Amino acid sequence: MNNSFLRYNHLGYAPFSPKVFLSTYPSAFSFQILNERSELVFEGELLEQGLWEPTQELCFKGDFSDLKAPGRYRIVLDSSVQSDWFQIGEAWISDQFDANLKSFYYQRSGVDLLAERAGKWARPAAHLDDAIPFHKSMDRGGLWNAHGGWYDAGDYGKYIVNAGVSLGTLLLIAELYPEVCKHSPLLEEIRFELDWFIRMQDHDGGVFFKVSPDRWDSFVPPHETIYQRRILGKSTTSTLNFAAVLAHAHRVFSKEHADFARKCLEKSKNAYLWAQANPDIAYPNNTEGSGLYGDSVYSDEFFWARAMLFREGVSDFDIFKDLLEDSKTQSVLHAITWRDTQNFGWIALALQGMDLELQEKARFQLEQSAKEIVALIEQSPHRISLSEFHWGSNGLIANHALTLAVVHEWSTAFDYAAYAFELIDFIYGRNPQGMSFVTGSCASAPKFPHHRISGSDGIDEPVPGLVVGGINEFRQDSHREVPYPSDLPGFSYSDFQKSFASNETAINWSAPLCFALAYLKHNYTSKKLPSIQVLTWDLSSFSHIEQVKALIDANAQFIQLRQKSGTFEDKLKVAKEAVELCQKNEIRIVINDDPYLAKESLASGVHLGLKDTPVSTARFILGSKAIIGGTANSILDVKRRLEEGVDYIGLGPYKNTSTKENLSPILGAEGVLKVVQMIESRKKDSLFVCPFYVIGGISYEDTQVLQDLGASGIAVSSLVVGADNIQEAYKKLKF
Ligand SMILES: [Ca+2]
């Protein structure tokens, strides 16, 4: 198998995403797509794109976007040039989002990573940093508590400026995609870092720059490092970074953690005041055991902080006046970097509605930037927005996707999601290396990242979910005998541990990838559920499997397997068989009550009663792609379920029912209407909502009433599975 000529997303594509790949094979002008049974399912032409300078290759584009059926496929040019298997499906996007977010957890310092959550990458707490001295450059006695926070990259340092842009990026996910936020530990991870941020603020409002060891640590596990760690450098950039991020945290946390949010805003203001009084305090010039993060231009950080504070309604200390000045002088870039943060400021202005002139200006400029990114992709023979590859090129590419995603919030001038998808294709395999740049993502992923934890834990596989810096034609590590495969700029990558210039990992590259995946999840994966759910029932003369088979024959689309009796093993046997039957027919099936049963049987998800496992626990067990439904008996329960982030709610009882013994009061049409109104008002506030199925004694006559009321769907049991002719009974149901 020779796949070096083929550049495609090794993880796959989504059913409705673009499916573009590149070939540099000189003697093929058409391609075929084969399915898992080696049947030909698609044929297309390879269109010449021109010579791509970075690799001096003539590139051809193949496009099979019209192939939408989920499954496993491969690209074939001729008998010698074929791709490996890849998916058309949604699951890999959710899986990669989960893995990427989890990579932040694996970067946590100062706490135990327990096997329960960290698996084989469990490790003991190290670098508590809860009583560390100041660096000699500080000329300050005493000890400081700088506990917690993520390690920055492949090293064990902790740096506010790089963490700040990373946090700002994750906060933007929480703000723009509430459903993604609800279905993952995103807020918990953000909070872990924020707690460290807060500890890094001095009593006078200024914020320290970094925590680092006296010398660079060698490749040993965190708990075996030997150098003293110190805190140093209160600077203008670190303080403004902090001010901006804490103001953003105020926005994100105020909905559900108002006290914490208020505290964040106070700290943000104190930091801003310090920076106003100390507008040009440089970064600490120490690199004996840590990176420099040298940035001498502070105006972009001032802009970011002011825009965030303004958006949170802070009007003191001349913020608006200075912001107007910023809006005349600040440029708009293609991407956010740790050094150039102005796009965060523009994004804040574009998303606010308090000053429409500023909003319009910000939107116009960001849109110009997005158009330029689109043009760069279209002009590139390799369909990538970069023609030069600097340190952390993968992070930059993901940040280009972020710019497109933000503009997509208000503009549909281009199919921004499609272009963002193509950018992410590059990171997952559509690149000259012909490999995925994310650890653990697939067979071609990096094995030897410049990452001290991965390089010293004795485990073969590196910590998963980490994106490496990628192609870097400036090769700052060439003195370390890095085996680069060619002198050409586009081949400046090596999966070699010493290659810090191409193979290091860093939180500020993971964060925009996490954002881009959240955006793709938001656009290309849907847990869009059918509007009728049928529950099976414990019946002595009609087994669950017989019911499932009958429902499949009836063309039911969404089943809840509701086994109430039997041991776990008994239930698992039935569940596995039912799931297999449903999967063959592309029917969604959720398991009642037990997330472990759902996990073991590979069901689509679980339905939880009010007294069952908490949603957060089920989410932890099943991951973000699982469908998690929850029962609600009242409007208060519905609120609770929305807070918990379920994918759907089973709302009932609508009427009296014979199937389920129910002590809860009957909701009736009035109760349903109240829920509809509540959900509509949440939608207006951009709060998380999900569909709800009305359940309990529903008759054929009720369906029209419920539709008119605005219910998302209905759930029935005896009406269908208790009928003499299940097919007819199901067909008669209209919703
Ligand atoms: Ca700057």
Q: Residue 84 belongs to a domain with what CATH number?
A: 2.60.40.10
Provide the pLDDT for residue 390.
98
CATH number of the domain where residue 357 is located? 1.50.10.10
Provide the pLDDT for residue 693.
97
Burial 629-639 (b: 16+ CB within 10 A, else e): bbbbbbeebbe
Closest to 239 (Cα-Cα) out of 210, 264, 206: 206
Provide the pLDDT for residue 625.
74
* 80 in the same domain as 100: no
Q: What's the gap in Å between 304 CA and the centre of ligand 1?
A: 10
Could you identify the residue written with the tokens 């600077």? 235
Residues of the chain short of pLDDT 50, as ranges, are 1-2
Q: Which two tokens stand for residue 505?
A: 């990992």
Q: pTM value?
A: 0.84
Q: What's the gap in Å between 294 CA and the centre of ligand 1?
A: 9
Asked if 154 and 217 touch (Cβ cutoff 8 Å), the reply is: no
* 241 in the same domain as 155: yes
Q: Is residue 656 part of a domain?
A: yes
Q: Is residue 1 part of a domain?
A: no
Provide the pLDDT for residue 658.
59
Q: What's the gap in Å between 240 CA and the centre of ligand 1?
A: 10
- CA angle, residues 219, 220, 223, in degrees to nearest 5: 145
Could you identify the residue written with the tokens 């309604």? 313
The SS3 assignment for 7 reads: strand
Asked if 606 and 620 touch (Cβ cutoff 8 Å), the reply is: no
DSSP-H helix ranges across 613-725 = 615-622, 635-644, 668-684, 700-709, 718-721
Provide the pLDDT for residue 525.
77
* 455 in the same domain as 423: yes
Q: Which two tokens stand for residue 722?
A: 């208790």
Q: What's the gap in Å between 190 CA and the centre of ligand 1?
A: 23
Asked if 420 and 428 touch (Cβ cutoff 8 Å), the reply is: no
Q: What's the gap in Å between 159 CA and the centre of ligand 1?
A: 15
Closest to 345 (Cα-Cα) out of 396, 423, 406: 406
Q: What's the gap in Å between 300 CA and the centre of ligand 1?
A: 5
Asked if 36 and 470 touch (Cβ cutoff 8 Å), the reply is: no
Q: What's the gap in Å between 401 CA and the centre of ligand 1?
A: 21
Q: What's the gap in Å between 663 CA and the centre of ligand 1?
A: 62
CATH number of the domain where residue 697 is located? 3.20.20.70
Q: What's the gap in Å between 501 CA and the centre of ligand 1?
A: 22
Q: What's the gap in Å between 613 CA and the centre of ligand 1?
A: 47
Q: What's the gap in Å between 505 CA and the centre of ligand 1?
A: 22
Q: Is residue 399 part of a domain?
A: yes
Q: Is residue 246 part of a domain?
A: yes
Which of 492, 524, 556 lies at the terminal end of a domain, its last residue? 524
Provide the pLDDT for residue 686.
64
Closest to 429 (Cα-Cα) out of 11, 95, 2, 1: 11
Domain that holds residue 33: 6-88
Provide the pLDDT for residue 115.
96
Which of 524, 554, 571 lies at the terminal end of a domain, its last residue? 524
The SS3 assignment for 361 reads: helix
Q: What's the gap in Å between 305 CA and the centre of ligand 1?
A: 12
Count Cβ atoms below 10 Å from residue 218 Cβ, excluding itself.
12
Q: What's the gap in Å between 329 CA and the centre of ligand 1?
A: 14
Q: Can you tell me the distance from the alpha carbon of 63 to that of 113, in angstroms, rounded to the nearest whole number?
A: 44
pLDDT single digits (tens) 21-57: 999 999 999 999 999 999 999 999 999 999 999 999 9
* 467 in the same domain as 486: yes
Q: What's the gap in Å between 320 CA and the centre of ligand 1?
A: 20
CA distances from 649 to 297, 638, 652, 656, 685 (A): 50, 7, 9, 19, 20
How many domains is the chain partitioned into structurally? 3
Q: What's the gap in Å between 340 CA and the centre of ligand 1?
A: 5
Q: What's the gap in Å between 275 CA and the centre of ligand 1?
A: 14
* 492 in the same domain as 539: no
Q: Is residue 469 part of a domain?
A: yes
Q: What's the gap in Å between 108 CA and the centre of ligand 1?
A: 26
Q: Is residue 536 part of a domain?
A: yes
* 551 in the same domain as 516: no
Asked if 632 and 643 touch (Cβ cutoff 8 Å), the reply is: no
Provide the pLDDT for residue 705.
94
Which of 524, 543, 559 lies at the terminal end of a domain, its last residue? 524
* 683 in the same domain as 544: yes
Could you identify the residue written with the tokens 């590590």? 477
Q: Is residue 22 part of a domain?
A: yes
* 505 in the same domain as 583: no
Q: What's the gap in Å between 339 CA and the centre of ligand 1?
A: 4
Q: What's the gap in Å between 295 CA and the centre of ligand 1?
A: 5
* 598 in the same domain as 579: yes
Count Cβ atoms below 10 Å from residue 657 Cβ, excluding itself.
19
* 95 in the same domain as 84: no
Q: What's the gap in Å between 330 CA and the centre of ligand 1?
A: 11
* 392 in the same domain as 264: yes
* 81 in the same domain as 98: no
Q: What's the gap in Å between 133 CA and the centre of ligand 1?
A: 28
